[in-house]
Copies of this chain bind each other. A is one copy, B any other.
Amino acid sequence: MNGPLTSSDIAREAGVSQATVSRVLNGSDRVAPGTRDRVLAVIERHGYAPSALARGLVTNRSQLIGVIVADITNPFYPEFIEAIGESLAARELRMLFYNGGLGDEEAYVRLLLEHRVEGIIFTSALRSSQAVRRLVDERFPLVLTNRSVDGADCDVVVGDNPAGAQAAAQHLLDLGHRRIGLITGHAEASTSVERAAAFATRLEAAGVELPAHLVRDAAFDQAAARRVAVEMLTGPDQPTALMCVNDVMAFGALNAARSLGLRVPEDVSVMGFDDIPMAGWEAFRLTTVRQPLAEMARASVRLLSERIAERGRPAQRLVYPSDLIVRDTTAVPAPDRRAAEARR
Q: Which residues of chain A have a CB within 8 Å of any CB of chain B? A: 3-4, 47, 49-54, 56-57, 60, 62-64, 67, 71-75, 77-79, 81-82, 85-86, 94-100, 110-111, 113-116, 134, 222, 251, 254-256, 258-259, 277-278, 281-284
The answer to whether A82 touches B99 (Cβ under 8 A) is yes
* Alpha-carbon separation in the docked complex, A99 to B54 (Å): 25
12 A-B pairs besides A72-B81, A77-B78 with CB distance below 8 A are A3-B60, A4-B113, A47-B134, A51-B57, A53-B53, A53-B56, A64-B96, A73-B78, A73-B79, A85-B100, A94-B96, A259-B282
Check B113 against A85 for contact (C-beta < 8 Å). no
Q: In the bound complex, how far is the Cα of B312 from the Cα of A103, in angstroms?
A: 38
Whether A72 pairs with B62 at a CB distance below 8 angstroms is no
Contact A81 B99 (CB under 8 A): yes
Q: How far is the CA of A283 from the CA of B252 in the complex (A)?
A: 9
Task: Point out the residue from B3, B49, B116, B134 that lies within 8 Å of A110, measured CB to CB.
Answer: B49
A116 to B: closest C-beta gap in Å: 6
Q: A218 CB to closest chain B CB, in angstroms?
A: 15
Chain B nearest Cβ from A3, distance in angstroms: 6
Q: In the complex the two chains form, what is the Cα distance from A61 to B258 in whole Å?
A: 52
Chain B residues with CB under 8 Å of A54's CB are 53, 57
Q: Which residues of B contact A60 (CB under 8 A)?
A: 3
Q: A3-B60, A56-B53, A57-B51 are in contact. Are A99 and B79 (CB under 8 A)?
A: no
A62/B73 in contact, CB under 8 A: no
Residues of B contacting A75 with CB < 8 Å? 75, 78, 278
A6 to B177, CA, bound (A): 62
How long is the Cα–Cα vector from A222 to B100 in the complex, in angstroms? 27
Cα separation A92 to B63 with both chains bound (whole Å): 21
Please tell me if the beta carbons of B85 and A98 are within 8 angstroms of each other in the complex: yes
Contacts of A74 in B (CB 8 A): 78
Is the beta-carbon distance between B277 and A255 smaller than 8 angstroms?
A: no
Min CB–CB distance A142 → chain B (angstroms): 15
Q: Which residue of B lies closest to A95 (CB)?
A: B97
Task: Name A57's contact: one of B49, B53, B82, B94 (CB within 8 Å).
Answer: B53
Q: Which residues of B lie under 8 Å from residue A53 when comparing CB positions?
A: 53-54, 56-57, 62, 115-116
Taken together as a complex, chains A and B put the C-alpha atoms of A56 and B110 apart, in Å, by 17
In the bound complex, residues from chain B placing their C-beta under 8 Å from that of A73 are 78-79, 82, 277
A277 to B74, CA, bound (A): 11
6 contacts between A and B (CB under 8 A): A4-B116, A57-B57, A72-B82, A75-B75, A97-B97, A222-B281
What is the CB-to-nearest-CB distance from A344 to chain B, in angstroms, rounded to a whole number? 18
Cβ contact within 8 Å between B254 and A50: no
Given A72-B81, A72-B82, decide whether A49 and B114 contact each other with a Cβ distance below 8 A. yes
B116, A94: Cβ atoms under 8 Å? no
